[in-house]
Amino acid sequence: MTEGMTTRLAAAWSALGLAVTALFAAGPALAAEGHAATTATASATATATGPDVAVSQAGNYPTQPNSYGNFSVQWTSVGTTDVTGITHLTVDLPPGLKTSGALMYSTPYDYTFSEKVSPDGRHLEATFRGTRVPGRGDFMKVQVTSGAERPSGVIRATVANRDDMNPANNVSTYTVNGPQQPAEVPDRPVVTAIDTATGPGAGGTAVTLTGTGLDTGFVLFGSEQAKNVSCTATRCTATSPGGSGSVPVTVVTPGGAAEAPDGFAYTGPPPTPPAAPVVTGLNVRGGPSRGGTSVYVLGRNLAGGTIAFGDAPAAHVSCGDSFCSSTSPAGSGTVHVTVTTAGGTSATVDADRFTYADATPRR
């Protein structure tokens, strides 16, 4: 596999208003995208009561020899609670079509995103890490070209998240130059064995998991994504990330999540922690004591962080490398807003002070 990384970061306070406007405008616009927009098949109704992520696609598909097109793959939180952690996406193209990769367009940049394309250009995998409240969506635009023959066959897009409660809307298909297919409900994965149960804290241990329904999957050690993952229907190979202690090993597919019967125990020292997070500013410096204020945090080394207002945890937290979104908890007085990651907790500074309405705002 050849790998390309895309991580988009907030650059200036003046861009915040435009970014938020673009976010909420993006979803409805997809259905009308391009001169030949077509919405691909997917389950339209969520039945889950917990986290639920759904995938759909629409765009200009190449239908002639030697033609060019692009289509958007959108994933949306449609359940009743936040979708968080790692969301894994795949796109498979039929013979005669290939892609050079995908671009992320969603704002604000409170997430990390990476993607890789197979050498033949027919398989794309993407990893999105962030928190999405119900109703909030993101999309990537996949660039596609056709060969010398008239393209035909099925474009298949999938989404998977460990906490997803509803697999019925995790596969979207579009048939190029042919009749559309009914919505596909993927099989639930089962892991029956793991061949290696220990490895160094620095990571790098090769592990094989066996079972059924494992295709289109990714592998988690605890909450961290494994490296070099390759899955067939009955077997996944992966390389352990760095870690410490004993953690479950989970294969996550569009059909659900399945833990190995035995976990993985790290031995020896853990990996070197990342750099400590640093907070450099907030978009607002105060809000009502009842909480509920949307607060953006700027800084560096923030990816995957949690946020606290004083000692109280914030809600709906999503952090990219230099930008976090959050909702303030209830509180009083003036407190420091801090970010905590594997690298530690940000040092308190004047720029991170937040004043609740029952106190005099600090300017």
Q: What is the DSSP string of 96-158?
A: TEEEEEEEE--SS--SEEEEEE-TTSSEEEEEEE--B-TT-EEEEEEEEEE-SSPP-EEEEEE
Q: Indicate the SS3 state at residue 25.
A: helix
The pTM (predicted TM-score) of the whole model is 0.86
Q: What is the mean pLDDT of each run of 10 residues along the chain (363 residues)?
A: 38 36 35 39 53 96 94 95 96 96 91 96 97 95 95 97 96 96 93 97 97 97 97 98 96 98 95 96 97 98 98 98 98 98 97 86 50
Q: What backbone torsions phi and psi does residue 206 show, to the nearest 5 degrees?
A: -80, 130
What's the chain's length in residues?
A: 363
CB-based contacts of 317: which residues, under 8 Å, 6+ apart? 131, 305, 306, 307, 324, 325, 326
- Half-sphere CA count of 88, side-chain side, radius 13 A: 22
Determine the pLDDT at residue 183: 85
Determine the pLDDT at residue 203: 97
237/116 Cα distance (integer angstroms)? 17
The domains found in the chain, sorted by start residue, are: 2-176 (2.60.40.1510), 190-267 (2.60.40.10), 278-356 (2.60.40.10)
**Burial grade of 307 (CB within 10 A; 0-12, 13-18, 19 or more):** buried
55/53 Cα distance (integer angstroms)? 7
Find out whether 176 and 94 touch, Cβ atoms under 8 Å. yes
Determine the pLDDT at residue 359: 53
